[in-house]
């Protein structure tokens, strides 16, 4: 079964805030918690200003991950024995390492974006107090869907760090 992903609102370019034009679509496969494979058709958008290409990702996707966000969220939150995602234990461990390494980065990016949006000057005492308010445990307490809410602004701000593929070896992952 194929699902078409289309946003109802018009979103400006996250880089330069110009209009985005639809230039086509692409297929993207995603695995759910039970291991079922779903095929999504995701729109490709080009910015009229900076000419960058963007993909319209739904909340259930995390950039460059093949499982939906609920599976990864469960894997990084719960003990390995209680995870119901249909994935190998090595994949579950990689997700935990991925989140442990990047969670601080995600929080810092969110804090910087929040300070920028609120108009606080970098380095000011008000900005420093404001930036201490957000943490990874605070996001986890927001209930289901916290991981999607955490990574979406980072991806939309073009500050996503692409990690290594699963088949590459790295001492940090062992």
**Which residue range(s) make up the domain with 19?**
1-58
| 51-71 pLDDT per residue, tens | 999 888 888 899 989 999 999
SS3 content of the chain, % helix, strand, coil (to 5): 40, 20, 45
- What pLDDT, on a 0 to 100 scale, did the predictor assign at position 12? 85
Same domain? 32 vs 112: no
Q: Are residues 158 and 97 in the same domain?
A: yes
Phi/psi of residue 35, nearest 5 degrees: 90, 0
In sequence order, what DSSP letters do the residues of 97-112 get, joined into one string?
HHHHHHHHHHHHHHHH
Look at residue 174 and tell me if it is in a domain.
Answer: no
Task: Answer for the pair 47, 15: CB distance below 8 angstroms, yes or no.
Answer: yes
Domain match, 143 and 87 both = yes
- Give residue 14's pLDDT: 82
What per-residue confidence (pLDDT) applies to 168?
A: 56
Q: What pLDDT was estimated at residue 165?
A: 57
Residues 30 and 87 in one domain: no
Number of domains in the chain: 2
- Residues 111, 133, single domain; the answer is yes
Dihedral of alpha carbons 29, 32, 35, 36, sign: negative
What pTM did the predictor assign?
0.76
Determine the Cα–Cα distance for residues 32 and 13; give it in Å rounded to an integer.
Answer: 29
Write out residues in the chain with pLDDT < 70, as ranges: 1-3, 120-136, 139, 163-174
Q: Could you tell me if 21 and 46 lie in one domain?
A: yes
Q: How many CA atoms lie within 13 A of 61 on its CB side?
A: 19
Note whether residue 102 is domain-resident. Answer: yes
Whole-number Å distance between alpha carbons of 137 and 48:
39
């Amino acid at each position: 079964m194929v699902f078409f992903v289309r946003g109802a609102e018009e979103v400006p370019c996250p880089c330069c805030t110009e209009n985005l034009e639809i230039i086509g679509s692409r297929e993207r496969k995603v695995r759910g918690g039970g291991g079922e494979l779903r095929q999504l058709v995701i729109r490709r958008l080009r910015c009229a200003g900076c000419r960058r290409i963007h993909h319209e990702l739904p909340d259930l996707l995390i950039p460059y991950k093949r499982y939906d966000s609920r599976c990864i969220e469960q894997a990084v939150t719960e003990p390995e024995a209680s995870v119901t995602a249909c994935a190998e234990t090595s994949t579950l461990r990689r997700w935990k390492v991925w989140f442990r390494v990047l969670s601080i980065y995600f929080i810092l990016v969110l804090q910087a974006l929040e300070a920028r949006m609120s108009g606080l000057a970098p380095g000011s005492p008000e900005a420093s107090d404001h930036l201490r308010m957000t943490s990874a445990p605070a996001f986890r307490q927001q209930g289901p869907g916290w991981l999607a809410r955490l990574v979406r602004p980072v991806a939309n701000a073009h500050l996503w760090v692409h990690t290594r593929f699963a088949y590459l070896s790295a001492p940090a992952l062992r």
